[in-house]
Amino acid sequence: MAIQLDPMVGRYLRTDIDGVPYRLYFEEAGQGIPLVCLHTAGADNRQYRHLLADPEITRRFRVLAFDMPWHGKSMPPDGWERGEYRLTTQSYTAAIRAFCRAMELDRPVVMGCSIGGRIVLNLAIEHAPEFRALIALEAADFQQPWYDTAWLHRPDVHGGEVCAALVSGLIAPHSPPVSRHETLWMYMQSGPGVFKGDLYFYRVDGDLREKVKTIDTKTCPLYLLTGEYDFSCTPEDTLRTARHIAGAEVLVMKEVGHFPMSENPAKFREYILPVLDKISR
Amino acid sequence: MTAADRFARLPQLLAADSDLLRRGRWLTVDCRVDIGPEPFFLAIRNGALSAFERGAKLMRSTAFAFRASDEAWSGYWKSVPEPGWHDLLALTKRGAASIDGDLRPFLQNLQYFKDLLALPRKEA
């Protein structure tokens, strides 16, 4: 039987972020317009494995998905054991720009989901000329919290299991069971306190309610796509955000939750291909 | 059949779910679940129901209580629930359910409780 290999290739990139050296793991496939994909909080780049293996996308786009520091196969910085991880708007933005710069990407498209979607809004606010287009999945300028993140990192509650159980409700009932549980498996594998540290950005530091009004979609087109079963970032949250951004294109995805690319890759494809078609024209 | 009548079938539904029993094998707790105005008292031992009592009990103590309206449970138990009615914490976020007491056993076994309280969905 012939060897069966997925088309993406994984490598490690050496780069500094805010003066601190990192070894970032990323996977890539395809050629053409660079498309950088940002995973959700407490997860890693495996969420994009279906996109990386989709020839309809990779024939026009060079898809790159990297693990944020502390996530997946990207290690935390040396000395991580002496502090608590906290992602901020500044550090998240710096990590994305460092990756794009170190990889010498020419005006890439950036697509992020959840916290990745929120930070895409910040890229549109602060660095729009650096990007060809921005795609924010499950994103809003602000969302109402629905649980206490203190439960995510304490010795009497299994971090991986509670993280997965919390987000399980954000997956649409229609999503295939295999994809649902693959998505949850990634949440079970996050390092201690990483999901909680990511949510510091989401809950405390990343309120963009006033700033989104300054986004100029003529400089960089912005697409907002949110699943109808996402009760963390609800369609109403995204629609409210879009109302403040002239020219933003917004779409509510039926039968999809908070993790479109991994919970239901076939359904997500129906929504994302037309967006990528527009961008590649 | 009322929402409470549907929930009253929980012992049979759990007994038939060997996977959920396996996943709950470390859980022992007494808790209360209100289906609209009707309280149910669950004594869970190693993931199984050792006692299941319907109706008010004077001065009964439990670790925690999960309460939701009839409307919330009916929505949660649809074979394909509507958005916002499909998860216990979606219900609490929208104000259709509440939880109080010691949340530790609930969160230590969160997926178990989500699946336990979704069992009537199987008979939707």
Q: What is the ipTM of this complex?
A: 0.97
- Which residues 33-92 on chain B approach chain A with CB closer than 8 angstroms? 80-81, 83-84, 86-90, 92
- For chain B, the first-to-last Cα distance in angstroms comes to 11
- B86 to chain A: which residues are within 8 Å by CB? 169, 172-173, 229
Query: Does B23 touch chain A if contact means CB atoms closer than 8 Å?
Result: no
The overall pTM is greater than 0.95: yes
**Domain parsing of chain A, residue ranges:** 9-280
Q: Across the interface, which of B83, B89, B110 has its CB nearest the CB of A229?
A: B83
DSSP A92-109: HHHHHHHHHHHTT-SS-E
Mutate which of A146, A236, A263 to disrupt the B interface (most B C-beta within 10 Å)? Answer: A146
Query: Does B98 touch chain A if contact means CB atoms closer than 8 Å?
Result: no
Cα–Cα dist A38/A65, whole Å: 6
Q: Give me the domains of chain B, ranges plus CATH numbers.
A: 3-119 (3.30.1050.10)
Task: Determine the pLDDT at residue A186.
Answer: 97
- Tens of pLDDT, residues A219-270: 999 999 999 999 999 999 999 999 999 999 999 999 999 999 999 999 999 9
Task: Determine the pLDDT at residue A260.
Answer: 98
Q: Across the interface, which of A144, A165, A174 has its CB nearest the CB of B110?
A: A165
Q: B81 and A166 in contact by Cβ < 8 A?
A: no
Cα–Cα dist A87/A73, whole Å: 17
pLDDT band per the 50, 70, 90 thresholds, residue A85: very high
Average pLDDT, chain B: 97
Task: Determine the pLDDT at residue A1.
Answer: 81
Mean pLDDT of B84-111: 98
Query: Does B25 touch chain A if contact means CB atoms closer than 8 Å?
Result: no
Task: Determine the pLDDT at residue B89.
Answer: 98
* DSSP-H helix ranges across chain A: 49-52, 55-58, 89-102, 115-126, 159-168, 177-188, 194-200, 235-243, 260-263, 265-280
Task: Determine the pLDDT at residue B94.
Answer: 96
Q: B104 and A231 in contact by Cβ < 8 A?
A: no
How many residue contacts between A and B have a Cβ separation below 8 Å? 51
**Residue A260 near residue A267, CB atoms below 8 Å:** yes
- Tens of pLDDT, residues A15-64: 999 999 999 999 999 999 999 999 999 999 999 999 999 999 999 999 99
Establish how many alpha carbons lie within 13 A of residue B45's alpha carbon, considering only the half-sphere containing its beta carbon.
5
The domain over range A9-280 is classified in CATH as 3.40.50.1820: yes
Task: Give CA angle at A265 (B122, A215), nearest 5°.
Answer: 115
Task: Determine the pLDDT at residue B124.
Answer: 82
Query: Does A166 touch chain B if contact means CB atoms closer than 8 Å?
Result: yes
Q: A162 and B110 in contact by Cβ < 8 A?
A: yes
Cα–Cα dist A175/A91, whole Å: 33
Instruction: Report the amino acid identity of residue A81.
Output: E
Q: At what angle do helices A177-188 and A159-168 cross, to 10 degrees?
A: 140
- A237 to chain B: which residues are within 8 Å by CB? none
* C-alpha dist (Å) from residue B4 to A93, B38, B40, B54, B55: 50, 7, 9, 9, 10
- Tens of pLDDT, residues A89-140: 999 999 999 999 999 999 999 999 999 999 999 999 999 999 999 999 999 9
- In chain B, the residue whose alpha carbon lies closest to the alpha carbon of A173 is B80
Among residues A42, A43, A38, A44, the alpha carbon closest in space to that of A63 is found at: A38
Mean pLDDT of A161-189: 98
Q: A231 and B80 in contact by Cβ < 8 A?
A: no
Task: Determine the pLDDT at residue A133.
Answer: 98
Residue A44 CB neighbour total at 10 angstroms: 23
**Residue A103 near residue A64, CB atoms below 8 Å:** yes
Q: At what angle do helices B110-117 and A159-168 cross, to 10 degrees?
A: 30
Burial class of residue A26 (count of CB atoms within 10 Å of its CB; 0-12, 13-18, 19+): buried
- In chain A, the residue whose alpha carbon lies closest to the alpha carbon of B23 is A161
